[in-house]
Amino acid sequence: MKVIGFNASPRKNHNTAWSINQILEGATQVGAQTQIFHSGELDIGPCKGCLGCTKGDGCVVADDMREVHAALGLADALVLGSPVYMAQMSGQAKVFTDRLFAQITPRFSPHFKEKNAGKKLVLVFTQGNPNQSKFQAYYDYTKSMFQMLEFDVRDMIIVTGTRSKQASENVGLDEILREVGKKLALDAAN
């Protein structure tokens, strides 16, 4: 089984990346192959709305999203992590999500790619605000959007208070995240 992570933070070694890496470590502990993409290292532009993906096999935009699409196509599960900026996912996460259009669209679209239906997904949000429910309406919306895109959303992790302390300083959070990764990988294998 294969689990990929997408770090939609411009920071490669900060709270969101750390959280994703803990989940991927848990998946590795039960035999999954893992890979992580860091948005800050990739050249991924926004969807151009050209609908070229409806005429062929995938997105026609020649940038690093092609590598991500290929990895996602082979993966059993995805861990998408984003810091909360302006009460929603980062711009990098939004661009990533929009670019999924080329491979994963609701069934009302004529170019739906069945190979991605039901792919397991864990959403990870890191936020400076210590109030766990501060952005709950947005989190619920995001989960609903990915369900519409036919992902099987298995979990949604909210890491709070990252303005005052690093996620890695939360006692026991690493163990919780690794357990999420183990469960995700085992669910994806079945």
CATH number at residue 117: 3.40.50.360
Between 12-21, 52-61, 151-160, 174-183, the lowest mean confidence (pLDDT) is in 52-61
User: Around Cβ 101, how many Cβ atoms within 10 Å?
Assistant: 17
Which residues have a Cβ under 8 Å from the Cβ of 176 and sit 6 or more positions away? none
What is the rounded average pLDDT of the residues 101-117?
Answer: 60
Task: Tokens 């026991």: give the residue.
Answer: 172
User: What is the reported pLDDT for 163?
Assistant: 83
* Domain tally, the chain: 1
Confidence of residue 116 (pLDDT cuts 50, 70, 90): low
Scored b (16 or more CB within 10 A) or e, 35-69 reads ebbbbeebebeebeeeeebeeeebbebeeebbebb
Q: Are 182 and 155 in contact (CB under 8 A)?
A: no
Helices 173-189 and 15-29, interaxial angle, to 10°? 50
Distance CA 44, CA 59 (A): 12
Helix or strand holding residue 4 (H, E): strand 2-7
User: What is the reported pLDDT for 3?
Assistant: 97
Range(s) of the domain holding residue 12: 2-189
* pLDDT tens string 69-99: 999 989 999 999 999 999 999 999 999 999 9
Bridge partner list, 35: 4
User: Around Cβ 73, how many Cβ atoms within 10 Å?
Assistant: 14
